[in-house]
Structure 1
Amino acid sequence: MPRNTPSELTLAKPRSPGADFADHCCELMGSLGTVQARRMFLGWGLSVEGLTVAVIAWDTLFLKTNAGALPQFVAAGCQVFEHTAKGVTRRMRYHTAPEGALESRPAMQPWAALAMQAAVAARRPPRLAADKGGSALKPAQTSKPRQPRPKAPGSSA
């Protein structure tokens, strides 16, 4: 059996751990549109049109949730996403997908729609370019007309 030459070995690029599962989740959530997977510190972030709708951590898909979607996720037995950092356990607004949802695109569709609704609801309004650190709803400040400066003694013109 012939051995691969060094040039043949460099053609295949190594894939990040979990990339196949991330691709599978993107396909399952395709009813939302184009789902993009990006590497994150814990795993992957899945987004649609710039909105994060899901994360993958520890080879588990977690869908974005909010108060409106929470009862459905809890009723389906979904677990909350929590992690411990510096001795503090934090719960995030993401829940596991129901097991059956990972089997097909039609089974994932209603859960993906709930995640998209939660992501849209969590979106912050865009900041105005002129708004630097303040609220976009501040009333306009009125300023007094500028008075000419008095001339220094001994200056000409």
Structure 2
Amino acid sequence: MDDAERTFLADLFALLGPVALRAMFGGHGLYHDGIIIGIVVDGEVYLKTDAQTQPIFAAAGGEPFVYVSRQRTVAMSYWSVPAEAMESATEMLPWARLAHAAALRTAVRKPAARTRRK
């Protein structure tokens, strides 16, 4: 991903707040407040969904990110956004908020460290 793409995505999500991009599995993870809210693969943005938000993305024409692993197709919980959302930060904001809320609900929390008895 080049600097222009990074700047575009930072501007697109600016109304939500700062985002960070981290390379992962041939694409990039899109993070806000330290949690992953989306992925960017081959220039396409897919945002985090859960049981509450997936129907909203589907109703807007979104589709899940799908990959093939060991000769089986795997659909992930990251869905495409409407084309209009890619045009401005204002249009992206409601989708970014939905993704952030889904990510907060599904965030994997590390279990508390066990203390050893002496």
TM-score under structure 2 length normalisation: 0.89
Unpaired runs of 5+ residues, structure 2, are none
Structure 2 counterpart of 1:45 = 29
Structure 2 counterpart of 1:150 = none
Q: How many residues align?
A: 116
Structure 1 counterpart of 2:99 = 115
Q: 1:117 to 1:21 in 2, by over 3 A?
A: same
More strand by share: 2
- 1:27 is aligned to 2:11: yes
Q: Which has the higher contact order (CA 8 A, sep 6+)?
A: 2
Moved over 2 A (4+): 17-23
- 1:89 is aligned to 2:64: no
Q: RMSD across aligned C-alpha pairs, in angstroms?
A: 1.7
State which of 44, 58, 69 in structure 2 corresponds to 1:60.
44
| Offset from partner CA, 1:37-57 (integer Å, 9 cap, x none) | 111122111101210001001
> Offset of 1:24 from its aligned partner?
1.4
TM-score under structure 1 length normalisation: 0.68
